[in-house]
Amino acid sequence: MTLTDIARRFGTWALAGFAVCLVTWLLLAALRCPFVFVARLLAAAQGGIDARLTTTLATPTDTSSRRTHHV
């Protein structure tokens, strides 16, 4: 089915409406890309900070010299 067949069957206004919907969808998808990039960047930074904090807090510190041994 060609565009002229669709225009004859459903009308020019229906074809124009479909084109407007398609262009709007493509425009919104293009506008969404920078926000997705920023969200992924923030997620990666959060994961890196979380990993550093986890390894820092999980490493045992040598506190035996500060403890007093009671007999």
Q: What ranges do the domains of the chain cover?
A: 20-56
pLDDT of residue 40: 97
According to the model, what pLDDT value does residue 67 have?
A: 60
pTM of the model: 0.55
Task: Pull the structure tokens for residue 8.
Answer: 């004859």
Write down the pLDDT at residue 62.
61
**Helix (DSSP H) and strand (DSSP E) numbers for the chain:** 2, 0
The larger pLDDT score, comparing residue 1 to residue 61, is at 1
Side chain identity at residue 52, one-letter code:
R
Tell me the per-residue pLDDT of 13-70, one tens digit each, with 9 for 90 and over.
999 999 999 999 999 999 999 999 999 999 999 999 999 999 888 877 665 555 666 6
